[in-house]
Structure 1
Amino acid sequence: MADRVEVLDNGLKVILRPLAGVPQVSVWAAYRVGSRNELPGMTGSTHWAEHMLFKGGGKLAKGDIDRLVSRLGGKFNGFTDKDWTMYFETVPSDRYETALFIEAERMRNAAFDPKEFDAERTVVISEREGAENEPGFLVEEELWATAFHVHPYHWLPIGYKQDLDGMGRDEVYEYYRRWYAPNNAVLVLTGGFDPDAAMAKVRERFGGLAPETIPPRPRFVEPQQHGRRVAEIRRPGGVDYLEAGWKVPAWGHADLPRLVMLTGVLGGWRGFNIFAAGGWTPRANRLYRGLVEAKLCSEARAGFEMRLDPSLLSVSMVLARGVAHAAVEKRLDDVVERLHDDPPNEKELERGRELVRAWNRYEEDGVTFQGFMIGQLEVLGSRERFPAFLDQVEKVSAEDVREAARTYLVHRGQTVVRYHGEGGA
């Protein structure tokens, strides 16, 4: 059965994907707000607001979400991204109204109790401090901060510690009230349900929620980069890292199918679902052959994120012990420059196509993954075009990949972060 799409009078977009015979339903609430909506001094406010939506409000007391979902044998969570915030509950198919109740109650009625807010400050700061112990986080943060000087992609959704120290309850609550509204949200249901009955329940739960006047999103256009940028991090440890990123267009640009295939040929495609790939690293690609098999790196992977605004195609590398950054950078340049001159052969292209097909099948496996993908694509404005996009990826030629490499994988748009683990493990 095809997806059913309806928009309530208050602006809430509802997407239903009924799946016959499936014993679960996954309910997702996706909001068009992420760290790109933040301003300097308020970094991390989207993530903090997400935390507060688990602390009660309306008819929900603190701890109710955990109790309600756990006693059904279900699962739930929330996620903050650069471009969106999402929440979900996956529960038995005869109990999905519980999930609708939860999402309706917290869409406009989160309490933001001052004591809970202050207690959560410790939690989000601890989360930030814990991340700072991970070299991968530090390298990623430095990469985006160095590549983007003006755009809010400059910071990660966790925010800066000085902002988390300084923000007050009223500021974050006002931020929540500004962006959390039915006319700035998408409600997704996937799984075993009757669509007519589901729509009736959605209208009952959500139809009375008032819309909000959604303010214009902050519009920051990143100036064109005119040269290679390099940043260095030095921390105690025994492992060195290197990350390189190149500016690429926003999601929806005509070159994106080429960039998907370029990523697959270069470093192995790992899917569109940021929760699916995990730590898996593809091996049959040029980065692996040029860096790992050459014993310069123990790990090398490539990827790029679906973004509302121009973003990065990045390569992450863990250096082999005793190997200098300069040697890895030189080999990375060689691998990339070879793509400028030596397009992929048919075997490489077919491997890239099969990776995209396989990941797409995996990302459609189960009601929870399907709900996430529908919500993410809808927020990015490309849900209906996604099947055609996958068809375009299938048609990418060797020359298309070479032209994409020549256009985007160039020094004038490159940012490099060197992480030096000093003093031994």
Structure 2
Amino acid sequence: MRVTIAPETEGVLNADAGSTVRRTVLPCGVRVLTEQMPGIRSVSIGFWIAVGSRDEADHQYGSTHFLEHLLFKGTAKRSALDIAAAFDAVGGESNAMTGKESTCYYARVLDTDLPMAVEVLTDMVTSAVIDPAEMETERGVILEELAMAEDDPGDVVHERFTEQVLDGHPLGRPIGGTPEAIEQASRDDVWDHFARWYRPEELVITAAGGLDHEQLCQLVTAALEGSRWDISQNSQPAPRRVGAEIHIPVRTGTEHHRKPVEQTQVILGGRGMAAHDEDRFALSLMHAVLGGGMSSRLFQEIRERRGLAYSTYSFSAAFTDAGLYGLYAGCLPEKVDAVIDVMSTELERIATEEVTAEELERAKGQLRGSTVLGMEETSSRMSRLGKAELVRGEFVDISDTLAQVEAVTSADIQRVAARLADSPRATTIVGP
């Protein structure tokens, strides 16, 4: 079953395998979605804001990721140590993630510790101080994080490939910013970014595990009433990010970024599919066949038969109005040409020939297994609710997801592969 999540949708969205999914819009515009999972003693909870690196003004580049760090550095009620100690004291976990289109602050705790998690996360998201001294300290931490990523050629090749495929668009920029942008970021710029996006109508709270929906709504309301936000006015939730797929130029050809390392990193690919594309299930199965495991074509041909690389796979990234795909391998410099030749050959082959019945069934089994096994974790179900609300505007239960996977044919996979293979291609190389 799939349910469209209209702004006014309330109550039970769906029940699947004994769990119950519910959605409530609080008067202030905050959205609360839960999945109650019988027999589970833990709860994963996430506070989502639909702002990512693509939404930053030029003078605020890197601010979204900067805020991810700064919200853990203290509020009017709590120091950074207080925030960390609150979760450590109950054996819980807390963290955050910044993407190109959203930011999430999340925690996993015992069901009895959910009130604490709600109170602390609400305090962080609504009432962060953004202390200038703490900002200077964290500036150094972020610069170290960027330096660490720059020292990893695997990270570098993915960043450079994204820049090449999404040429000149904010989606092509690194999520964490650049060292230059972080060095120049002012407290006023980061604060303005915080004030613009961190508002009741932008906040989505999702939780999954051993919980009661009504109780969670009461906890959230109480925490908001004690926060810096004014929730006295009735508000509607902010509109979802929407838009037709956009055209972004691809810098075609090969770009070589030299690094003094032993192994060369290679990605060949191009523009992919947006998050709402109806072919997304066929695309997932195409990747399972092409580069999704040890039995995939890339792994068998590049590693097992020819010994050209240790690691190889294919991948996609999907955003509201754009996407990309790539074929990756890490190999010795003298093997780069051979690896690229195999990648090109396998991409053309899956685009011109239907996959075998055996490959199709193996790919479906792989996707079925990974989908169901992933949903046994409360954190995965919490994330699924966040994406349903912010990205798709639609909740799809596991049974319907599996049915859509099962409906994909070999011809569908070939058609999707042809869409990718026929589009402009880029090759990114990082190495000596």
Give TM-score scaled by structure 1 length: 0.90
Q: Is the 8 A contact 1:181 1:210 kept in 2?
A: no
Q: Which residue of 2 aligns with 1:210?
A: 230
Q: Which residue of 2 aligns with 1:273?
A: none
> Of 384, 390, 396, which aligns to 1:379?
390
Q: Is the 8 A contact 2:256 2:428 kept in 1?
A: yes
Q: Sort the Cα spacing of 1:16 and 1:82 in 2 relative to 1 into closer, same or farther, 3 A.
A: same
Q: Which residue of 1 aligns with 2:358?
A: 347
Q: Which SS does the other structure have where 2:334 is aligned?
A: coil
Q: Is the 8 A contact 1:77 1:89 kept in 2?
A: yes
Q: Aligned equivalents of 1:182 and 1:256: distance in 2?
A: 32
Q: Aligned equivalents of 2:387 and 2:309: distance in 1?
A: 33
How far the C-alpha of 1:59 sits from its partner, in A, is 1.9
Q: Which SS does the other structure have where 2:330 is aligned?
A: strand
Q: Which SS does the other structure have where 1:17 is aligned?
A: strand
1:25 partner letter: V
> Of 408, 420, 424, which aligns to 1:396?
408
How far the C-alpha of 1:390 sits from its partner, in A, is 4.1
Q: Aligned equivalents of 2:414 and 2:243: distance in 1?
A: 32
Q: Which residue of 1 aligns with 2:69?
A: 51
Q: Which residue of 2 aligns with 1:251?
A: 275
How far the C-alpha of 1:67 sits from its partner, in A, is 0.6
Q: Which residue of 2 aligns with 1:24?
A: 42
> Of 308, 332, 343, which aligns to 1:296?
308
Q: Aligned equivalents of 1:331 and 1:38: distance in 2?
A: 39
Q: Sort the Cα spacing of 1:221 and 1:347 in 2 relative to 1 into closer, same or farther, 3 A.
A: closer
Q: Sort the Cα spacing of 1:141 and 1:224 in 2 relative to 1 into closer, same or farther, 3 A.
A: closer
Q: Which moved more, 1:223-232 or 1:256-265?
A: 223-232
Q: Aligned equivalents of 2:239 and 2:167: distance in 1?
A: 24
The Cα offsets for residues 9-31 of structure 1, whole Å up to 9 and x where unpaired, read as 11111011122222112221111
Q: Which SS does the other structure have where 1:384 is aligned?
A: strand
1:64 partner letter: D
Q: Which residue of 1 aligns with 2:24?
A: 6
1:93 partner letter: D
Q: Sort the Cα spacing of 1:130 and 1:227 in 2 relative to 1 into closer, same or farther, 3 A.
A: closer
Q: Which residue of 1 aligns with 2:295?
A: 284
Q: Aligned equivalents of 2:184 and 2:248: distance in 1?
A: 32
Q: Aligned equivalents of 1:114 and 1:400: distance in 2?
A: 54
Q: Which moved more, 1:127-136 or 1:209-218?
A: 209-218
> Of 267, 281, 286, which aligns to 2:291?
267
Q: Is the 8 A contact 2:250 2:270 kept in 1?
A: no
The Cα offsets for residues 28-79 of structure 1, whole Å up to 9 and x where unpaired, read as 1111011111233432211101100001113222211111111011111111
Give TM-score scaled by structure 2 length: 0.88
Q: Is the 8 A contact 2:274 2:321 kept in 1?
A: yes
Q: Is the 8 A contact 1:14 1:187 kept in 2?
A: yes
Q: Is the 8 A contact 1:147 1:229 kept in 2?
A: no
Q: Aligned equivalents of 1:302 and 1:187: distance in 2?
A: 32
Q: Identify unmatched segments of 5+ residues in structure 2.
A: 1-18
1:63 partner letter: L
> Of 118, 126, 131, which aligns to 2:149?
131
Q: Sort the Cα spacing of 1:247 and 1:188 in 2 relative to 1 into closer, same or farther, 3 A.
A: same
Q: Is the 8 A contact 2:46 2:205 kept in 1?
A: yes
Q: Aligned equivalents of 2:267 and 2:326: distance in 1?
A: 7
2:264 partner letter: D
Q: Is the 8 A contact 1:178 1:214 kept in 2?
A: no
Q: Is the 8 A contact 2:350 2:417 kept in 1?
A: yes
1:399 partner letter: A
Q: Give yes or no for the alignment of 1:413 onto 2:412.
A: no
The Cα offsets for residues 372-408 of structure 1, whole Å up to 9 and x where unpaired, read as 2222332212541464444222211101111111111
> Could you say what the CA RMSD is over the residues aligned between the two structures, in angstroms?
2.3
Q: Which residue of 2 aligns with 1:233?
A: 257
Q: Which residue of 2 aligns with 1:96?
A: 114
Q: Is the 8 A contact 2:74 2:128 kept in 1?
A: yes
Q: Which residue of 2 aligns with 1:200?
A: 218
The Cα offsets for residues 56-110 of structure 1, whole Å up to 9 and x where unpaired, read as 1132222111111110111111111111111111111112100110122122211
Q: Identify unmatched segments of 5+ residues in structure 1.
A: 269-281
The Cα offsets for residues 117-169 of structure 1, whole Å up to 9 and x where unpaired, read as 11111111111011110001111111011111232111121111111111101
Q: Sort the Cα spacing of 1:376 and 1:395 in 2 relative to 1 into closer, same or farther, 3 A.
A: same
Q: Sort the Cα spacing of 1:380 and 1:207 in 2 relative to 1 into closer, same or farther, 3 A.
A: farther
Q: Which residue of 2 aligns with 1:337?
A: 348
Q: How many residues align?
A: 406
Q: Aligned equivalents of 1:390 and 1:187: distance in 2?
A: 26
1:117 partner letter: M
1:42-191 to structure 2, matched below 5 A, reads 42-191=60-209
After superposing on structure 2, the runs of 4+ consecutive aligned residues of structure 1 that deviate more than 6 Å are: 211-221
The Cα offsets for residues 309-352 of structure 1, whole Å up to 9 and x where unpaired, read as 21111121011x35332221111111111112221111111111
1:377 partner letter: A
Q: Which residue of 2 aligns with 1:317?
A: 329
